A = this chain, B = another copy of it.
Amino acid sequence: MSENGPWGKVLTIDTMNPTVKKVEYAVRGPIVQRAVQIEKELREGVKKPFAEVIKANIGDAHAMGQQPITFFRQVLAMCSYPELLNDSSFPEDAKHRARRILQSCGGSSLGAYSASQGIDCVLQDVARYIERRDGGIPCNPENVYLTTGASDGIMTMLKLLVCGEDEGRTGVMISIPQYPLYSAALAELGAVQINYYLNEDKCWSMDLSELKRSLKEARRHCNPRALCIINPGNPTGQVQSRDCIEDVIRFAAKERLLLMADEVYQDNVYAEGCEFHSFKKVLFEMGPEYSDSVELVSFHSTSKCYMGECGFRGGYMEIINMDPEVKAQLNKLVSVRLCPPVPGQALMGLVVNPPQPGEPSYINFIKERSATLSALAEKARLTEEILNTVPGISCNPVQGAMYSFPSISLSKAAIEEAANDQAPDMFYCMRLLEETGICLVPGSGFGQKDGTYHFRMTILPPMDKLKVLLTKVKDCSLLPLPGHQGECWRTDKNHKLNK
């Protein structure tokens, strides 16, 4: 007889949803749990070879000290407590935005449910933003859905799409390395994950031949129906070229794949010669042969770019060429959850409709935005530069987004040492955490070619901490591996790419 009566629990690991068990999410996995524990130990006075944990595991700008955009927060404060609309210390443009948002809310309150698709004036503003971004290509607000962060939109779209059994089961192509929301969502939905590999030798670009190989192989055992792209890339920090995006669109059209473009880093482009091209713009510039037929969903969020407002869980998706009957089903599906968080909707509305030239907040807004983006550009450059001086580490340029995903050449001894119970790069990251307090995520959490090892680090820590982090990563490569006759963690084999 178990401790819980004659039959034990109703809900056990053996009787729970098997698809949930298959879900993995490295960004908040064992490394981060251990980091939190170590922080607690440090607070309790446990002696460590370092004074603080530096977290570079998650794209969480504010947690790393980035300051919010003043204008956004002023408007949100007034929306939360409309008495402040009478406070003369707030600028008029901020008041105007707050009034406009409140007028679009039930009972003029952030506390009312919005329409499930989102607050009307925000949908309008998103549509105008997309039109400006894409050089005037029209956007119908009816095709815009506000979401609870981009994750929610991605999950909703995948949910609509998944069907079939056995060899007819829906397959979804995702890049490897990928952001593990995708693999987690596919596992949860019981869909088939189809891996296509980004080309590390060509700065993590997408490769048409690899897409073809991956699709051909997948067609043997499932029904591939969608292709997901993250651009700028997470965890790999590349910015796809216009040519590459055209190739991908032609491929999707020919192979009948719905495109899901995760474009949450659309303002995070640092490298010279790189530019963000939205999938929608490229699609429409390719002419009606494509723009009238290819089904595309594009995702954006308040969490990244220069604002980094992750906690508000704001986001939107734009659907293009969706079947009207499916759209009706999408409307129904989102209505069950009532609405995305209204403060996040309001924030999304501000992101797409920031202060304009001539408005009182404009100069300060531009100053704050530029400061953040140029600091990120500088950190991207520095990260690449320093990592590439480290023996055994090779790092592509961080062209965009917020991450570096360097390849690490682990010593045979380290691989052996790890082999028993974890992936070698998990072993590496865990040891790095224990010895230096640096919290990175192993490449195995994102996927990588067999026999290669990587880690993902964000470029978000403040400059002084980023330098400490990079120095520690560098120094640690020379530390001997206990019990392996002076062998080090990493080999000093210098397999630089793009040099």
Contacts and interface: CB of A to CB of B under 8 A. Distances in A.
A310 interface: yes
Interface string A255-276: 0111000000000000000000
B63 A112 contact: yes
A253 to B, nearest CB: 8
A310 B12 contact: no
A358 interface: no
A452 B449 CA distance: 62
A159 interface: yes
Given A25-B332, A256-B7, A333-B23, A163 B15 contact: yes
Contacts of A68: 109, 111
A39 to B, nearest CB: 12
Interface stretch (A124-132, A338-346, A370-378, A463-471): A338-346
B341 A313 contact: yes
Contact of A9 (B148, B295, B340): B295
A362 interface: no
Nearest to A310: B113
A16 B341 contact: no
Interface string A330-358: 00110111111111100000000000000
Which residue, A3, A20, A226, A309, has most C-beta atoms of chain B within 10 A? A20
A20 B58 contact: no
A17 B311 CA distance: 31
A11 B111 contact: no
A293 B4 contact: yes
Interface stretch (A74-82, A388-396, A438-446, A491-499): A74-82
Nearest to A313: B341
A29 B332 CA distance: 8
Interface in A292-325: 292-293, 295, 307-313, 321-323, 325
Interface string A7-36: 101111101111011011101110000001
- Copies of this chain, whole number: 2
Contacts of A106: 60, 62-63
A473 interface: no
A401 interface: no
Nearest to A330: B20
A116 interface: yes
Contacts of A308: 111
A308 B113 CA distance: 10
Interface string A106-119: 11011111111000
A103 interface: no
A422 interface: no
B60 A11 contact: no
A151 B323 contact: no
A64 interface: yes
Contacts of A5: 253, 293
18 contacts: A5-B253, A10-B226, A25-B335, A28-B338, A60-B112, A63-B109, A64-B107, A73-B81, A77-B80, A105-B311, A111-B311, A112-B311, A188-B333, A188-B336, A311-B342, A313-B338, A341-B341, A343-B343
Given A4-B321, A11-B161, A112-B311, 16 more contacts: A12-B325, A13-B323, A15-B225, A17-B159, A23-B336, A28-B116, A60-B112, A65-B107, A80-B80, A109-B311, A111-B309, A111-B311, A113-B310, A148-B148, A188-B333, A313-B338
Nearest 8 A/B pairs, CB to CB: A63-B106, A311-B342, A77-B81, A62-B109, A341-B341, A28-B335, A13-B325, A63-B112
